[in-house]
């Protein structure tokens, strides 16, 4: 407690000493005289002086005045041996300053087109040789334009240190704050315009960025001190008024889009009016242009204020929180704009405008709100991504389950297929051999001796063994295709002979031909089925078997001189089996049958090994 009391006492003594040691504040000059002057003369008039109070607004005394006004002020200097300092809040629009007849400083251009220094504070140090003990005379020549509020701001005189501190304060509020505001608004405008360019669906961002860029053009009128890039301050005024109108339109679009509104007819009408208004301002000659431009600026400002009122109405008629927050910011802008309208129309006598500075807070508030919306949208996107990841994970699991079920179904189909292939092999191979054996015994039962029957049984056993070995893929390193087909040729020839059918075999290009066992078995079963059909159905006395091999394919044909098979092949198990084997071999099944000649052929069966 003692420490706190001691520290408080020490701080109090320090500030008391600081206040005691601080230089006295500069004293304002509150009374002066004013007279209208000759634009072509740099000499003060000798008559026409009127008593005025500083700050002074010329339009109060001489309405719509454009020209030169001289101000004559005096102050008493106690110590003429010490320098004094003069501080001017502003001279609207340009001027020259004299102390005791000596020129202290002036703007570059005091006649049209005059310099644009109406927002510029002035600071002059009056050295001792120019001072007089007692009464000193200050003359100020001001070149003014009616619509910019001609006149002179507060004037103070005092020590150099105190006057300079007051000058820095003026400069901050009248210039530095404007520059800082312009930098922030231009940066945010460019940022949100770029954001809209990258995300076209966020149209509110684009309109807000556009509005800030045109507001930059409007506010620049307050801080530029020369005419570039225009030729006169009238051109600057036209540019500023145009920027204000487009700003009002772009801000209206921002409010509508931000609140989720689209009014096509109103929007077209608004932009048409803005375009026509700007065009008239560019085309109308003086002096009509002056009066029209002032009305156009007032209309644009009133429209902007009405849009802020509209924003408040829309915000509080709905339930969204963002428009309501934005409506709070709009209240500040409405208050500042109302003050500026009264100042512009001279209802309030002041050269200070609040909307230019309050727009900075407005800009920061809206930018923070838009950034918050953007951050919230990003959060939604991240949540969507997480949900999407969860959905993808779930879909992967479902896909894995489906693939597992599909694999099980395919395995079941494969087993069924293997069984079907085994049935076909039994039908085409073992069944054909059994059919041939039965036919041989039926033809000559007296020749069915024990050795003959044993030979038939051996053939059937070999046929069955070949089926089992091939179906279970246990045939390793099979011999050449010729070695595989020779036993079949032997058995089938013997069976055909038993039926009284002469069989002729023709091989071509089979030397060294090797095929996988499964493919070899399909070819042999195709051949056996075709010959079995000849024995069972053709009534033929002769049959020719032609087998030709090429580099990558095999052709097989069975030609008999029987009765034929009608207009279309049969749909029995034998024909179905041959079609299935043709597809597995990658070849084509051909039938060509007329009475006396029937050809069953397999064309282009693929060979995978040679």
pLDDT tens by residue, 370-391: 777 778 878 888 888 888 888 8
Tokens coding 201: 């669906």
**CATH code linked to domain 415-606:** 3.30.565.10
Contact 209, 189 (CB under 8 A): yes
| pLDDT classification of 140: cutoffs 50, 70, 90 | very high
pLDDT at 218 over 80: yes
For residue 601, give the nearest of 582, 574, 584, 576 by alpha carbon.
Answer: 582
pLDDT at 505 over 60: yes
Tokens coding 370: 């838009």
What's the confidence (pLDDT) of residue 19? 36
Q: How far is CA 15 from CA 5, 21, 173, 259, in A?
A: 15, 10, 26, 52
What's the confidence (pLDDT) of residue 470? 47
Sign of CA dihedral 294, 297, 300, 304: negative
pLDDT at 552 over 90: no
pLDDT at 570 over 60: no
When pLDDT is averaged across residues 266-293 and rounded to a whole number, the result is 90
Region of poorest pLDDT, from 224-238, 431-445, 518-532: 431-445
Q: Name which residue leads in pLDDT, 97 or 439.
A: 97
**CATH code linked to domain 25-158:** 2.60.120.260
What's the confidence (pLDDT) of residue 474? 40
Best mean pLDDT range from 23-32, 161-170, 519-528: 161-170
List, for residues 393-451, the tens digit of each pLDDT value: 888 888 888 888 886 776 676 567 666 666 666 665 566 667 767 777 777 776 667 77
What's the confidence (pLDDT) of residue 16? 41
Alpha carbon distance 242, 215 (integer Å): 10
> What's the pTM?
0.55
DSSP-derived secondary structure for 120-133: --EEEEE-GGG--S
Contact 171, 209 (CB under 8 A): no
Region of poorest pLDDT, from 34-43, 272-281, 559-568: 559-568
Residue with tokens 């004299």: 98
Domain spans of the chain? 25-158, 177-353, 415-606
When pLDDT is averaged across residues 476-486 and rounded to a whole number, the result is 71
pLDDT at 475 over 60: no
């Amino acid at each position: 407690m003692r420490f706190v009391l001691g520290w408080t006492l020490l701080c109090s003594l320090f500030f008391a000493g600081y206040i005691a040691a601080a230089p006295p504040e500069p004293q304002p000059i509150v009374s002066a005289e004013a007279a209208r002057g000759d634009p072509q003369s740099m000499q003060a008039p000798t008559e026409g002086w009127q008593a005025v109070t500083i700050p002074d607004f010329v339009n109060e005394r001489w309405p719509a005045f454009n020209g030169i006004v001289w101000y004559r002020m005096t102050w008493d200097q106690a110590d003429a041996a010490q320098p004094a300092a003069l501080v001017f809040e502003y001279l609207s629009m340009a001027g020259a300053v004299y102390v005791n007849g000596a020129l202290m400083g002036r703007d570059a251009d005091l006649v049209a087109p005059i310099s644009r220094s109406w927002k510029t504070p002035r600071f002059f140090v009056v050295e001792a040789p120019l001072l007089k003990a007692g009464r000193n005379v200050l003359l100020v020549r001001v070149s003014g334009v009616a619509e910019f509020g001609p006149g002179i701001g507060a004037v103070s005189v005092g020590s150099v240190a105190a006057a300079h501190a007051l000058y820095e304060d003026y400069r901050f509020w009248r210039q530095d704050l404007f520059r800082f505001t312009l930098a922030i608004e231009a940066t945010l405008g460019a940022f949100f315009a770029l954001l809209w360019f990258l995300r076209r669906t966020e149209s509110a961002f684009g309109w807000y960025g556009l509005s800030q860029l045109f507001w930059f053009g409007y506010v620049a009128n307050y801080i530029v001190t020369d005419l570039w890039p225009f030729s006169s301050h009238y051109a600057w005024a036209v540019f500023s008024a145009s920027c204000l109108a487009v700003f009002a339109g772009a801000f209206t679009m921002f409010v509508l889009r931000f609140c989720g509104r689209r009014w096509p007819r109103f929007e077209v009408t608004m932009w048409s009016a803005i375009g026509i208004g700007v065009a008239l301002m560019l085309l109308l000659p003086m002096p009509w242009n002056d009066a029209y431009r002032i009305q156009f600026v007032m209309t644009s400002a009133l429209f902007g204020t009405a849009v802020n009122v509209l924003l408040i109405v829309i915000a509080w008629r709905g339930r969204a929180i963002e428009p309501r927050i934005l409506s709070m910011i709009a209240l500040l802008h409405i208050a500042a704009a109302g003050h500026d309208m009264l100042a512009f129309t001279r209802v309030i006598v002041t050269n200070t405008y609040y909307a230019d500075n309050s727009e900075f807070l407005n800009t920061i508030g809206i930018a923070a709100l838009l950034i918050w919306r953007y951050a919230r949208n990003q959060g939604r996107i991240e949540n969507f991504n997480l949900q999407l990841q969860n959905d993808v994970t779930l879909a992967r699991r479902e896909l894995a389950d489906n693939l597992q079920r599909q694999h099980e179904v395919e395995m079941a189909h494969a087993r069924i297929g293997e069984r079907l292939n085994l049935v076909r092999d039994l039908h085409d191979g073992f069944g054909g051999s059994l059919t041939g054996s039965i036919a041989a015994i039926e033809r000559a039962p007296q020749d069915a001796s024990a050795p003959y029957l044993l030979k038939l049984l051996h053939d059937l056993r070999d046929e069955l063994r070949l089926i089992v070995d091939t179906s279970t893929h246990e045939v390793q390193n099979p011999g050449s295709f010729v070695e595989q087909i020779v036993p079949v040729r032997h058995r089938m020839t013997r069976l055909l002979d038993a039926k009284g059918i002469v069989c002729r075999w023709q091989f071509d290009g089979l030397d060294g031909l090797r095929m996988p066992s499964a493919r070899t078995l399909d070819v042999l079963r195709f051949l056996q089925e075709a010959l079995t059909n000849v024995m069972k159905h053709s009534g033929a006395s002769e049959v020719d078997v032609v087998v030709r091999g090429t580099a990558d394919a095999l052709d097989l044909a069975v030609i008999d001189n029987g009765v034929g098979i009608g207009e279309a092949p049969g749909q029995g198990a034998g024909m179905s089996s041959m079609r299935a084997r043709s597809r597995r071999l990658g070849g084509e099944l051909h039938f060509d049958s007329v009475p006396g000649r029937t050809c069953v052929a397999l064309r282009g069966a693929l060979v995978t090994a040679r």
